A and B are shown apart, each in its own frame.
Chain A
């Protein structure tokens, strides 16, 4: 039941004292006339409403969440405690600098840690999410070429296995995109890349390991080809959780990166956000970084780069999220950060090997932190799709893998277990996947009906889009 249907006229909470000065209302022409409907509820009923909603959700805390490309690792609780310290939450963003030295230290410390982890020299934490960080990076590429008077570069190279945000970002930055096909091994087709590279190329957007979970061995050649044609290389940080402490984007030939703090660095995703998407770069691009940078040793201060691309939003980014990530990185440190990546890769390979006799692995090689299965054969054989298997998982308290992505694999399921899952959890999930495979063969019709134990069954998405109902309406 919607909160509005639980509302009763005259109920409410006592939040504010009476006004202790003379009441002032806006002049007539600015006074609100439109009626305002908001819930009227006692605190107890209100609180229960949200508890009821929470029961209808599956978070990382509720069970296995192998949502490929999203790195749904455990969210340590101390991270939240630290972000909720009044010394952080009660700080106004426009306080004098000498009263926010602690906040500046947070930003300076996390910048230096993440630069070392990624092989970059500088980083801005203003971008609020991954896509926002990508956008910042591509605008920096644009500013770089413009500053050199190199105006003829109008295209961005993007592999066909890329996340949708990559091409959407390039277009927001005023570029057209050139899709580079993947070879039969799932990696960038070098010959096709060479053909596309030219003096009209502004840069390349790439994640490595790529979206099929493979490390592109040719990465040094790829980034060299782009550099030789005058372009810059941007690293999409979505898959950084595979390689921390083993190899750094900066050492693969990348000039800029963005990170998904809410994936790799354990901050909760909050049902869709807030994330944090810092943009990092090599020294020669630092002058284009967005917004303010923290400078100084003893006394810290904000400074703006002269040729900055400007502001991406107000203030300094999702600061509270960055505090959580700093807590995490300080906890793991130089031993724990590589350990996390190594175990993410181990867990993925373990699951893949335990499933590959039944399921078709899209690219049957050693994988990194995730792998992609294709259910094309199963679908042909018994009509059970990737969607059906995913929905079958819902009845087993497992969040399904990412479905139908990457686009280069048909009937794809993309599995990313992460390092914070135990062997028992993986074994149990493997067993569920195997049971579902058997069920697909024996009684495919049952899987078409799944899920049956969830608060609702499959929803009519086509109907929702055709006749959008986007809000509740009160009876007049």
Chain B
């Protein structure tokens, strides 16, 4: 069996004797015998490192790694510079707990302060927290941030990612806010329906931009309508898109959230990812989770600390704004490193390439009869409809080592392109599909 206990049997016995015990069992005598495990745990015996490695490699081998991926729908394959993994592998950073002891955690605290700055820059917002679990949890927490005593209704557009909607629903089941879904129309939020649903009890309006179908919403107008009704405006955004698309600030958002996965985090079967949460300055004290601030030490030297902790569960307990404790700090470090490695030019280029390639692909698919369902502007995802069953098209691609778009139903497919998809790869997809069509 494997073990990470350094002390030998003899050393353990010496330690026991030194403190007046005969055996390990003496340390557990106060646990009533009737509930103790009788014949050991019914799990397999431990293994050597070599055996464990083989077993895990076998499991990993039972997954199919696609050479080429055209599927997004909430998780995106992007290029990750090597320096990112190098930074998050540094043991002083990776093996530390939450930076409660600021004096020996300045590296982590500073990296979070830098992350907060970069995310604020990207979104154009005033303040960011240190991260939360993922984009869906960030959306649900953002809605809870907007709750007021007499405003407990949240309007959420039908065009958001379905599992984000489901997560919001779960959180609302908890905090008893009223969730009202704003219907979609032609792949966009139905503005007429939104107008009619807004009232003085509305705490907030939440939209995703680009939305689940890749389409660009009338984001500025939606913000104006929300504000006219006295509601807060929350935008869920894809951070890569902000290299070229207007910032949530420019669209008028009070709170902007999203999933940070596109910024340097691998697909990893859905996690760990990261949820980012940003807001305008007036709402900073409503942000859930950790926040790092700049201060000075006793000698006047600049340093960083966890701050505004009076919002948090370990101080406020039942009066806390959220129960969040652990977040996704190492993922925030990856995101910070990624943004620094890509720089302004790199992020802009990645965003433009995502958009350009998706448009090229959409045009090429249109030529072979896989036409786009919606009319308006889109970023790097789009929906096609075809006469042939989606499953048949996708299987043909899969047979060639290509993960095609995500099937929304029997006929509609949600495609995604990023900077990693070359023109040659896209042409290959079109060639294969042309044969099936």
Contact = CB atoms under 8 A, between A and B. Distances in A.
B276 interface: no
B318 A311 contact: no
Given A331-B49, A349-B19, A472-B117, 18 more contacts: A2-B114, A15-B346, A16-B419, A20-B422, A30-B377, A36-B242, A43-B341, A46-B337, A94-B75, A95-B63, A109-B59, A268-B95, A271-B99, A330-B52, A334-B41, A346-B24, A457-B301, A465-B310
A274 B43 contact: no
A3 B121 CA distance: 14
Contact of A245 (B40, B71, B102): B40
Contact of B331 (A50, A274, A338): A274
Given A38-B339, A102-B63, A130-B325, A333 B43 contact: yes
B101 to A, nearest CB: 6
The 9 A-B residue pairs whose C-beta atoms are closest, nearest first, are: A315-B270, A87-B60, A333-B46, A270-B330, A272-B329, A93-B270, A59-B95, A102-B62, A53-B107
A312 B292 contact: no
Given A32-B246, A86-B65, A268-B94, A316 B269 contact: yes
Interface in B254-292: 259, 266-273, 284, 290-292
A271 B347 contact: no
A396 to B, nearest CB: 11
A229 interface: no
Chain B interface: which size bin?
35 or more
B322 A456 contact: no
A170 interface: yes
B317 to A, nearest CB: 4
A372 to B, nearest CB: 16
Contact of B133 (A13, A134, A243, A313): A313
Contacts of A321: 271-272
Interface string A59-71: 1111001010010
A383 B433 CA distance: 78
Contacts of A51: 90
A350 B28 contact: no
Contacts of A251: 35, 37
B134 interface: yes
Contacts of B273: 314
A380 interface: no
Contacts of A248: 37
B64 interface: yes
A330 B333 CA distance: 29
A459 B103 contact: yes
A122 B164 CA distance: 25
A129 B313 contact: no
B249 interface: yes
B352 A32 contact: no
B357 A310 contact: no
Interface in A158-217: 163-165, 167-174, 176-177, 215, 217
B346 A89 contact: no
B137 A470 contact: no
Contacts of A67: 97, 100
Interface string A1-30: 011100000001101100111111111011
Contacts of B46: 330-336
A323 B271 CA distance: 11
Nearest to A174: B176
Nearest to A454: B103
B16 interface: yes
A108 to B, nearest CB: 10
Nearest to B334: A270
29 contacts: A2-B117, A34-B247, A38-B122, A38-B339, A38-B342, A57-B93, A58-B104, A90-B66, A92-B403, A99-B66, A131-B323, A164-B316, A176-B318, A247-B37, A268-B330, A272-B98, A273-B272, A309-B173, A318-B271, A327-B56, A332-B3, A333-B47, A334-B41, A334-B43, A335-B46, A343-B5, A345-B27, A346-B15, A394-B101
A435 interface: no
Contacts of A84: 85
Contact of B246 (A33, A95, A339): A33
Given A313-B133, A420-B4, A327 B340 contact: no
A252 to B, nearest CB: 6
A135 B174 contact: yes
B30 interface: yes
B166 A310 contact: yes
A184 to B, nearest CB: 17
B293 A2 contact: no
Contacts of A421: 6
Interface stretch (A74-82, A279-287, A437-445): A74-82
A466 to B, nearest CB: 10
B62 A101 contact: yes
Contacts of A314: 74-75, 134-136, 161, 163-164, 167, 259, 270, 273
B166 to A, nearest CB: 4
Contact of B137 (A55, A103, A132): A132
Given A82-B53, A177-B318, A472-B113, A273 B7 contact: no
A423 interface: yes
Contacts of A327: 52, 56
B180 interface: no
A310 B173 contact: yes
Interface string B130-154: 1101111100000010000000000
Contact of A420 (B6, B169, B216): B6
B413 interface: no
Given A456-B106, A457-B297, A470-B291, A103 B269 contact: yes
Contact of B111 (A53, A130, A461): A53
Nearest to A243: B31
Interface string A104-129: 01100100010011000000000011
Contacts of B7: 343, 422-423
Contact of A220 (B32, B117, B347): B32
B124 interface: yes
A458 B297 contact: yes
A39 interface: yes
B117 A36 contact: no
A167 B325 CA distance: 13
Given A38-B340, A268-B330, A167 B137 contact: no
A458 B356 contact: no
Contacts of A60: 95-96
A269 B2 contact: no
B310 A310 contact: no
B81 interface: yes
Contacts of B373: none
